[in-house]
Amino acid sequence: MNAKRLLVGIALLVAAQANARNSGSFDIYGYVAYDSTGSLYHVLTPAMSVCFFDPRFPPVSSCSYNYVDASGGTALSLVAPKDATAPATDDGGAAVSLAAPFELYGVSANSLVASSNGYLAAPADASSEDGGDFSQDCPLPAIADNAVATQARIYVYHADLDGGPNAGSMYASYFASCPRASESGLSEACTVVQWRNWALRGQSGALNMEAVLYHTSFEIALQYQTLDASAGTIATIGTQSNNATSGNAYNCGGPADRIFKSGFDS
């Protein structure tokens, strides 16, 4: 490399890092994350959203918050993993049939498994994910350690969550015209998977959150209506590809080291 090319390379690298620091985390595949606050430190607060943009649809540096009520959809019935001792609301998974395909890391899925522990998995079939992964992983990618695991995941708020303490419920709802407009500017359908009155073990406060999955731009909008007392400091928020070859942790055990602990992980 000659000196001129080297300087250009350095300039691009600096620009890329500056961009990352001002915008969002990213991974090998190309997902880029932005939040609704524009905050440098990405401290989760109630009424906040985090968007993950598929690289095939150029991201915009914004992510609106517009919480969608999914309770009119399907109430999800959690199933405990085989041989589990904890109730399904603590460690369990519920199959979510999608009315339209959704692509995660470019791989199309017609169904998902929603976990009681705050993540969505995109298994080849429902039997390939039990939803029982309670251990928050950091950084991403990280091979999941539940007994029947699919690595392709959307970590909405992944930690040892439990629906029991607050009598929580989970819903999935498909909207042919999504009430929350995607950042793509397209009018598109979405599927919303929602955790209502959920709880994080050892933390006070109800957790109300949802994942909005868009079926055209494949944007992922994670919205947090209310938070438990930890405010995401012991949860993983991000995405991960199948076989854990790529991952993007927007939040990974606390926001302070997000850029270099998460953004460059993969």
Partner 1 sequence: MIERENGAVVGNGSMRLKLWLLALMLCVPLARGAHAQVTNGNFETGNLNGWTLGGQNHAAAVKSTNFSTAVNPPNGGTWFAALSTGPGSLSNTTYNVDGNGVNDYDMTSMQQTVTFTATTSPAMLIFDWNFASSEEDQPDAYDDVFDVQTTVGATTTKVLTGSACKLDGGTGSPYPAAPCTPFATAVNWTITGAAPITNTSLRFGVGNWHHACVDIPGTVVGNNTVTITFRVADQNDNQYDSALLLDNVSVANTCDVASSTLAQVTNSSGSNVQVKNGGIQFTPVDNGPALSTDNTGTAFAFASTGNYTADNPNALQQVFVYDASYSRVTGLTIAAGGSVQGVSLSGTTVGALHGRYVAIAATLNSAASQQIYRWDRQTSTLTQVTNTTGCANKNPSISSDGNRIAWETTCSAYTGQGTTQKIVYSTFTTSWSAPVNFMSAGTPAATCQGFEPHLSRGDTGNFIALRSTCGGLSGAAPVATNGDIFRYAISPVGWKRMTTATSASTNNYSPSIDAATAGNAGRYIYFISDGDYSNVNANEPEIYRYDVSSSTLALVTQSPSNSGYVSVHQAADGTGALFSYEYVNGTDGDFEDGTGNFNGTSVTLKLGASMTASLGADVGVDAGNVPTVVFLSNDDLMSPSQNADGNTEVYSARTP
| Residues at the site binding partner 1, with contacts judged by CB under 8 A | 82, 86, 91, 134-139, 141-149, 151, 160, 201-202, 243-245, 247, 265
Asked whether the CA dihedral 252, 52, 162, 86 is positive or negative, the reply is: negative
Quick count: other Cβ atoms within 10 Å of Cβ 46?
13
Considering only CA atoms, which of 37, 19, 14 is closest in space to residue 251? Answer: 37
Nearer to partner 1, 194 or 246 (CB): 246
User: In sequence order, what E strands does the chain have?
Assistant: 32-35, 48-53, 74-75, 93-104, 107-115, 119-121, 153-158, 161-162, 169-175, 190-200, 207-214, 220-226, 236-240, 247-252
Q: At its nearest, how many Å lie between partner 1 and the CB of residue 244? A: 5
* Cβ neighbours of 82 (radius 10 Å): 9
Least distance from C-beta 145 to partner 1, angstroms? 4
Residue 48 vs 237, nearer CB to partner 1 = 237
CB of 83 to partner 1, least distance (A): 8
Residue number with CB closer to partner 1 (4 or 82) = 82
Q: Which is nearer to partner 1, 51 or 149 (CB)?
A: 149
Whether the CB-CB separation of 175 and 99 falls below 8 Å is answered with: no
| Cβ distance to partner 1 smaller for residue 48 or 252 | 252
Single-letter amino acid code for the residue at 121: A
Minimum Å distance from CB 104 to partner 1? 16
CB of 245: closest distance to partner 1 in angstroms?
A: 5
74, β-bridge pairs = 172
